[in-house]
Amino acid sequence: MATTKTHVIERIFLGRWQAEAQPLSQSLVTIEDIAAAIRTHNEQHPNDTLSDRNPANFFKDFIRNRKSANANWPERVLAAGFTARQITGNNRAFEFVPLLGGQVEPFPETFVPTADTPRREIETVSLPVASRRLGRSDESWLVQVLVRLRIIETHFSLYSPRRIVQLDHLQMSVKLRGSEIDALFLATEEVDGPRYDEIIVCCEAKGRRDDILEDQILRQVQAVFGIPGVTQDRAIAIAVKAIGPSEVFCVEFDVISRAEAPEIVSLTPVSQTLYVLRPPIPGIGA
């Protein structure tokens, strides 16, 4: 069943739709565009209103859950051959983009474990009992568990195609302009000969009800190079999602250089692993 946001997105799209086989008059949607469309909708439908106080989160909240986003994406927009991707910064909210060849869902499921995904058990007895009593389903608790159990270190040592010899946790919840990184690490990689190089690692954490969003991770990689003090010229994105009770799915993406980061539009997965926490940890995957 269509939501109020469905009608607002459709209104914005139809205001730019010219005809089939022709480009949109404008594909980029700004925060002001959203606010204006909401106000127009409210005026015409006083019994079906939506607040225009926080248009910056309008699309972010819409695509947070893939199943909901697919169910509520406007049928007329999909029939015209368009989906959308989130863009932030400089007053931007999202952009209408054409469907790829053979794409039938506006937001297809991309990063999920398969039958070939390696499974590995992780011990949790080293986590204090007192911490377990405070277990929650939010992302900050998931990140804390990742760090304390060294799950990211385990992944890079056993499943990454890169020769990472050291990984240091730098910070949690790094708030940047237009983006937020759940955890930041510094990886030391052994390169040709007895030489080492540093790579900044951006970690995105998702709870069971939220999906791994490629555009969101791309923005983090692009933003990390702007942090004062970050002099490294390469970055790796890694996404971790709780997919079931005490089950954590991890995806590592290919390295991105500082020079190519501003123009990159997609990520390339290079490894993935499903970690099973034993004994179970309260809150993880709940």
Domain boundaries, the chain: 4-98, 119-278
Contact between 122 and 278 (Cβ < 8 Å): yes
pLDDT confidence of residue 15: 93
pLDDT confidence of residue 74: 95
Is residue 1 pLDDT above 60, yes or no?
no
Beta strands in 75-154 (DSSP E): 82-86, 92-98, 119-123
Tens digits of residue pLDDT in 87-145: 877 788 999 999 988 889 999 877 888 889 999 999 999 998 888 888 888 899 999 99
C-alpha separations of 45 from 1, 3, 73, 74, 265 in Å: 17, 13, 19, 17, 37
Tens digits of residue pLDDT in 167-219: 999 999 888 876 789 999 999 999 887 799 999 999 999 998 888 888 889 88
Is residue 278 pLDDT above 70, yes or no?
yes
**Overall pTM surpassing 0.85 (yes/no):** no
Calculate helix-pair angle for 4-14, 31-44, nearest 10 degrees: 110
Contact between 285 and 276 (Cβ < 8 Å): no
